[in-house]
Amino acid sequence: MNRKYKIFSWLSILGAVVIFVLVNVFMTLLTGKFPLKLDLTSNKIYDISDDSREFLSQYESDTTIYILASVTGQDDDVRAVLDRYEAANSHIDIKNVDIKNDPSFGLEYVRDGETLDENDIIVVSGDKSRIISAEDLAADTGDGTGIGLDVESKITSALKFVTSDEVFAAYFTQGHGENEFAGAKQALDSENYTVNDINTVVSDIPNDAAVLIIACPKQDFSTAEIAKLDSYLRNGGAVEVYVDSRCPELPELNKYLTANGIEIGEGDIIDKEGMIGQSPNIMFLIDYLKNPSTEKLIEKDGVLVCQPYARPVSEAPAGGGVAVSKYLQTKDGASVVKDREILKTGRFDIALMSTNADTLGRLYVSGTPLLLSYDAKEINSMSFANVEYFTSVTNSMTGAGDTFVVPVKSMAQNSMIMTANTRRALTGIIVILIPALLLCTGLFVFMKRRNM
C-alpha cells in the first residue's frame, strides 16, 4: 500500500469522524428544541390527533406542564406525547420537578382529597390548574390488550379547562332506579363539566344546570317533578332522556314527552341488517342523520352501535313553536318485536330532539342508552363513536363547543402476520442473501487492497 493511499485513507477517516461529531452536536441541539422521535407504531401511540393540533394552533395562553419526576425518572412514553404539545405551540412549556428532592412543590395546586405522587402531571395557566395522576395516564384499554396511554385526551382537556372562563354543570337524576351511566359521567368530566347527582323528588333543579340527564328510570316521575322539568325547560334548559325496553311504562313522564313532540314506542328493535355478531339482539349498527351534532362524526366515519332492548321513538303533534329533529335511525329492514310478535318492519327512529323556538328549551329523547353504562375507556377501545356522539349532542345543547374524545392507545405490540412463502422469502434474504453480499464485498475489498 503506497504512502499516498495511506494519507488519503487517514484523511478520509478523520473527515468522517469530524462530520459525524458535527452532525451529532447539531442533532443534539436540534432535538433539544424539537422532538424528532419518529412514531412508527401502528396506532401512532405517541402522536396527537388533528383535533388536538387544530386546538393548539389557536392556543394563546402561557401554560406550564409540570412532570413530577426527574428527567431520568419520568415516564418516557408520557414524555414523548407531551413533547408533541411543546413542539406544536410556543406558549406551552414542559418542566421536570423531582418531588423526591422538592416534596413541597405543587401543594398550592392541590384541592380537597387530592394527593401528589411521582410522575403525576400538573397543568397550570394563570390562576387555574389541573392535576392528572400518573395512574390516569397509563389506563387499562378495556379491550383485553392491557395497559394503554391515555395522555392526549387528559392533556387537551386540561388545557381547555385551565383556559376556559365558563364551567358547565351536568346533573343526573336519582330516586327512580336510574342506570349509573358511568361512561357518560366520565365523558362529561373529560369535557370539563362538573358532574352531579340530584334527587328531583326532594330538590329543585339548580339554576346552574346546563343539562339534566335522565338515565333509564325504572319508576315514574311525580306530577311535582314534571312541573320542575317543565319550569326548567321553559327557562331555556336542556334535558336528555334515555330509555330502553326494560324500562316500565312511565305514564307521567311519557305524557310530558309526548306533549313536547316525542313519543316513546313499545317493543324491542331487532335489526338483522346492522347486527354485530351472530344475533341481531346483541348489538347493531345505527345511522345518524346529518346535523350540527353529527357532522364531524359522519366526516370521520365514526361507528355508532346500539345495545339490545332499544325502543323506537316517534314524532308526536305538539304546538307552541316546538320543532322535532331526527338524530338516530335503524337501518332499513329492522323490526319491532313484542312478546315474540313482529309489530312492524322498516326504518325506525331511535333518537329525536325537540326544540321550543319560544323558550329555547331543548329535549333529547333516545330509545337506547348507547352503551353509556359501560366504562368510557371500554367503549372507546372498541372503536365505537358512542361516547363521542353523546358528548357532541350534549355540547350542542349546552353551547359548550366541539367535543373531544381520544381512544386509549394500546401499548400492546401487534404481531406481524405473514404467509409461509413470505416467511421463507424473508428468511432467505436476511439469513442467506445479505450475509453473502457482505462476505463478497469484504473479499473484494480485501483482494483489491492486497494488490496495492
Find the helix packing angle between 251-259 and 223-234, rounded to 10°: 30
Residues 339, 231 share a domain: yes
pLDDT of residue 360: 92
* Cell (9 digits) for 451: 494488490
Domain total of the chain: 4
What DSSP letter does each residue of 87-132 carry, written as one string? HH-TTEEEEE--TTT-TTTTGGG--TT----TT-EEEEETTEEEEE
Q: Which are the contacts of 360, defined by CB distance < 8 A and separation ≥ 6?
A: 236
Residues 60, 148 share a domain: yes
Residues 338, 244 share a domain: yes
Continuous segment of H or E residues that includes residue 174: strand 168-174
* Residue 45, in any domain of the structure: no
Residues 243, 182 share a domain: yes
* Residue 311, in any domain of the structure: yes
Domain span at residue 428 reads 418-452
* Residue 82, in any domain of the structure: yes
The 3-state secondary structure of 258-293 reads HHCCEEECCCEEECCCCEECCCCCCEEECEECCCCC
Euclidean distance between CA atoms 111 and 115, whole angstroms = 8
Tens of pLDDT, residue by residue over 107-119, are: 899 877 778 999 9
Residues 69, 14 share a domain: no
Contact 155, 85 (CB under 8 A): yes
3-12, 217-226, 292-301, 337-346, range with the lowest pLDDT: 3-12
Tens of pLDDT, residue by residue over 97-151, are: 999 999 999 989 987 777 899 999 999 999 999 998 888 787 544 444 446 788 8
**Taken in order 21, 22, 25, 31, is the CA torsion positive or negative?**
negative
* Cell (9 digits) for 53: 393540533
Residues 234, 109 share a domain: no
- In this prediction the pTM is 0.72
Residues 92, 23 share a domain: no
Euclidean distance between CA atoms 224 and 202, whole angstroms = 10
Residues 170, 73 share a domain: no
pLDDT of residue 144: 46
Residues 372, 224 share a domain: yes
Q: Measuring CA to CA, how many Å separate 77 from each of 148, 226, 233, 402?
A: 10, 51, 47, 28
Contact 241, 214 (CB under 8 A): yes
pLDDT exceeds 90 at position 414: no
Residues 302, 224 share a domain: yes
Q: Measuring CA to CA, how many Å separate 5 from each of 14, 417, 436, 445?
A: 14, 50, 28, 14
* Residue 43, in any domain of the structure: no
Of 106, 140, 158, the position where a domain reaches its end is: 158
Q: What is the CATH number of the domain that holds 196?
A: 3.40.50.880
* Residue 44, in any domain of the structure: no
| Arithmetic mean of pLDDT, 333-337 | 91
* Residue 38, in any domain of the structure: no
Percent of the chain predicted with pLDDT > 90: 49
Residues 216, 200 share a domain: yes
* Residue 42, in any domain of the structure: no
* Residue 368, in any domain of the structure: yes
Residues 436, 371 share a domain: no
